[in-house]
Structure 1
């Protein structure tokens, strides 16, 4: 307990120090994906912070990825490591949110990091619900942005909205469900996906996934059996989640476009820094059918 107390004080002290000199009293937390080293994660966080004009306190929550043994170039090791990291990511998020002066938390996750993040947020969401609150109220959650999330569609639903299918979950002292979707406050989910993501195509084959969230499109939702998950088609998702389809080819195997395509970076800045919603002037998006949008890319513009 003494060691934990010292660790909490150290983390909160550093966040508070950064808040004192930051333009915004908000924290952006980045969680990296498969086969990333600590240095990779730090560099990606730095680029994201520059994309957001360095107005926020930026935090990299690194987990032990980059395993070299096992099968599939260490993918199975990284998957286990991600599951191992959830408990500590949850504690870190809770500690950061409780730091004096923090007004809002924004989350950005890439690839397997999306699974780590959704698992942690799901558990914190259950904590908030059981405390008769919401994630936005209790932990100051604002945006959760998933780039090329390497997680099955149904698994993602279960982790983030688990209490929707469990109306007996205690809300305070007893179960008191609000209806189909309990309140989640101002938390907004944005998912960037690409049908050209070959890394996720391989992952989908490995796990027998009908649709990987990072390859989800409005067309695939109807044509590949993903429609069995009614929540993702439910009109109540309007205003809670947006799905941005990226049809360019950028980054390794079409998987790293969040760091390499200026159009994606511009949209991220409009979302997190400028607070613009999909459809607002200033967001370079084209409506497909809400909540699905497409983002004009360099390759798409050149093809026209």
Structure 2
């Protein structure tokens, strides 16, 4: 018997030792914790984007967070890696400093009541305390007002929400959101949805702490998405997540999807969600499949007032999922070793699913049938860990711009992609693009 078989105890021990040795380097590298976000122009369809940061103008974004507040060294408001039981919201002002974006000001606009909401007993039974409900409604209305005010001045009546990954501080998340906003020519209202990652547990234990903090954040993330989508000026909502943030987002979307199914609608119809974009998602393939297609595998769930197991599923409308993955992602390779995952979604390629598995894997087959998803393989050099290419590689930034701002589909001219096996695509050079066009 081969002593180095994939699941042998010896192999697991070696993988664990490598993880403990390598994880500090991955944490200190620009993988999940990104210290610099370079700004620039990303042309689409022959037109150059205009960067506010390049023009020297401050860039304003909104934030929603369930991090506990803290004071920075100069006494200004900041947010820590500790969890808060109330969800706060406000604005962040970003400015260019050299080749990076810096946080200038954080302004809190309001907060939701502490969770869990208090209940009281009445003659008819328990209910939520009316004063708490009033506070919730005021907070939701005020947050929607902030969004509507910005949409009134924005070129597009669309909101882009970014959910960060492991080991990111509040400022990291805000700067990454600003980078994405610049990539999209600041035509959208951008929101940083920041959960309490980046604790002081060290490289190894810190990952587990962040993992549980991500689970803690799911309900608030769901509440935030629902609230943002209900702003009356929002026409489309685009959700972008990186690394562990993808798992947090998928958990929230699973619950929102069940809400939609029970009310005979879909995520696109009920919550105006147009695009879900996952960069280097740090989630097991089987877990991702369960969360994406959970309601499909549960025909006993009520569809309206009763179950409809043989009925048509709600139309997805314009909702589309785009997953960017890389077989060279070392951070996800170590994550896979830690959790014993066969395939992390962020390392998925057309060749990583064998012909036998392809016919039975729901993520593959359902995506083929519905046309709701594209999987884009990135093979490039994105630093030591190969995990932050969505911020560092102009080709990936341009493709995101083409997807959201240009509304181009995979395979359309203007997106440098070539189909490998539907729904899988790869980035190609300009020479290949010219030949294909």
Identify the TM-score tier after normalising by the shorter chain: over 0.9
Cα distance change, pair 198–235 in 1 and its aligned pair in 2 (3 A): closer
Cα distance change, pair 92–297 in 1 and its aligned pair in 2 (3 A): farther
Three-state SS of the structure 1 residue aligned to 2:351 is: helix
Q: 2:282 aligns with which of 146, 150, 154?
A: 150
The residue aligned with 1:229 is: 361
For the aligned residue pairs, the C-alpha RMSD in angstroms reads 2.1
Deviates further, 271-280 or 175-184: 175-184
Whether contact under 8 Å (1:204, 1:212) holds in the other structure is yes
The residue aligned with 1:66 is: 198
Asked whether 1:108 is paired with 2:268, we answer no
Whether contact under 8 Å (2:163, 2:192) holds in the other structure is yes
Three-state SS of the structure 1 residue aligned to 2:295 is: helix
Cα distance change, pair 238–295 in 1 and its aligned pair in 2 (3 A): farther
Tell me how many residue pairs correspond in the alignment: 300
Asked whether 1:39 is paired with 2:171, we answer yes
Higher strand proportion: 2
Q: Distance in 1 between matches of 2:164 and 2:356?
A: 28
Q: Distance in 2 between matches of 1:297 and 1:120?
A: 36
Deviates further, 68-77 or 144-153: 68-77
Whether contact under 8 Å (1:135, 1:141) holds in the other structure is yes
Whether contact under 8 Å (1:110, 1:147) holds in the other structure is yes
Higher helix proportion: 1
| Offset of residue 64 of structure 1 | 0.1
The residue aligned with 2:181 is: 49
Structure 1 segments, 4+ long, off by >6 Å, are none
Deviates further, 87-96 or 237-246: 237-246
TM-score when normalising by structure 1? 0.93
Cα distance change, pair 238–2 in 1 and its aligned pair in 2 (3 A): closer
| Offset of residue 6 of structure 1 | 2.5
The residue aligned with 1:176 is: 308
| Offset of residue 73 of structure 1 | 4.8
Whether contact under 8 Å (2:162, 2:240) holds in the other structure is yes
The residue aligned with 2:263 is: 131
Whether contact under 8 Å (1:105, 1:142) holds in the other structure is yes
Cα distance change, pair 86–235 in 1 and its aligned pair in 2 (3 A): closer
Whether contact under 8 Å (2:416, 2:429) holds in the other structure is no
The residue aligned with 1:5 is: 137
Whether contact under 8 Å (2:264, 2:314) holds in the other structure is no
Whether contact under 8 Å (1:246, 1:294) holds in the other structure is yes
The residue aligned with 1:14 is: 146
Over residues 150-193 of structure 1, what are the superposed CA-to-partner deviations in whole Å (9 max), with x where a residue is unaligned?
00011011112101110111110111246696532221000000
Whether contact under 8 Å (1:108, 1:144) holds in the other structure is yes
Whether contact under 8 Å (1:270, 1:282) holds in the other structure is yes
Deviates further, 231-240 or 198-207: 231-240
Whether contact under 8 Å (1:45, 1:58) holds in the other structure is yes
Q: Distance in 2 between matches of 1:264 and 1:143?
A: 16
Q: Distance in 1 between matches of 2:389 and 2:156?
A: 27
Q: 2:415 aligns with which of 283, 288, 291?
A: 283
Over residues 113-147 of structure 1, what are the superposed CA-to-partner deviations in whole Å (9 max), with x where a residue is unaligned?
00011111111111011001111111101000000
Over residues 191-226 of structure 1, what are the superposed CA-to-partner deviations in whole Å (9 max), with x where a residue is unaligned?
000000000000001111110000000000117967
Whether contact under 8 Å (1:150, 1:200) holds in the other structure is yes
The residue aligned with 2:253 is: 121
Q: Distance in 1 between matches of 2:268 and 2:249?
A: 16
